[in-house]
Amino acid sequence: MTDHPPFSSGAALDSARRTLQIEAQAIADLSARLDGDFARVVDMLLACRGRVVVSGIGKTGHIARKIAATFASTGTPAFFVHAAEAIHGDLGMVTRDDVLIAISHSGSGQELLTILPVARRMGAGLVAITGNPASELAQLADLHLDTSVAQEACPLNLAPTASTTAALALGDALAVACLEARGFGPEDFARSHPGGTLGRRLLTHVRDVMRQGAALPIVAEDATLFPALEEMSAKGMGMTIVVGAAGKPVGIFTDGDLRRLIERHGDVRNLTVAQGMTRMPRSIGPDALAVEAARQMDDQRLSQMLVVDADGALLGALHMHDLMAAKVV
- pLDDT value of residue 1: 52
pLDDT band at 136 (very low <50, low <70, confident <90, very high): very high
88 vs 305, residue with greater confidence: 305
How many whole angstroms from its chain centre is CA 274?
Answer: 46
- pLDDT value of residue 154: 87
Question: By three-state DSSP, how is residue 304 classified?
Answer: strand
Cα(22)–Cα(162) distance, integer angstroms: 7
Complete DSSP assignment for 32-100: HH--HHHHHHHHHHHH-SS-EEEEE-THHHHHHHHHHHHHHHTT--EEEEEHHHHTTTGGGG--TT-EE
First to last CA, the chain: 52
In angstroms and rounded to an integer, the radius of gyration of the C-alpha atoms of the chain is 31
* pLDDT tens readout for residues 314-323: 999 999 888 8
- pLDDT value of residue 322: 84
- DSSP state letter for 319: E
pTM of the model: 0.66
Q: Which domains does the chain have, with CATH numbers?
A: 14-184 (3.40.50.10490), 206-325 (3.10.580.10)
166 vs 262, residue with greater confidence: 166
For residue 82, pLDDT beyond 90: yes
Question: In the predicted model, what is the mean pLDDT of residues 71-89?
Answer: 88
* pLDDT tens readout for residues 180-222: 888 876 665 555 555 555 555 566 889 988 999 999 999 998 8
- DSSP state letter for 119: H
For residue 132, pLDDT beyond 70: yes
Mean pLDDT over each residue of the chain, to the nearest integer: 88
Helix (H), strand (E) at residue 274:
none
Backbone angles phi, psi at 126, to 5 degrees: -125, 130
Which residue, among 51, 52, 57, has the nearest Cα to 67 in the 3D structure?
A: 52
CB 114 within 8 A of CB 99: no
* pLDDT tens readout for residues 270-295: 888 888 898 988 999 998 888 888 88
Interhelix angle 9-33/162-182, nearest 10 degrees: 50
Please classify residue 234 by burial: count the beta carbons closer than 10 Å to its beta carbon, then call 0-12 exposed, 13-18 middle and 19+ buried. Answer: exposed
pLDDT band at 53 (very low <50, low <70, confident <90, very high): very high
Q: Is the dihedral of CA 163, 165, 168, 169 positive or negative?
A: negative
Among residues of the chain, what percentage have pLDDT more than 70? 93
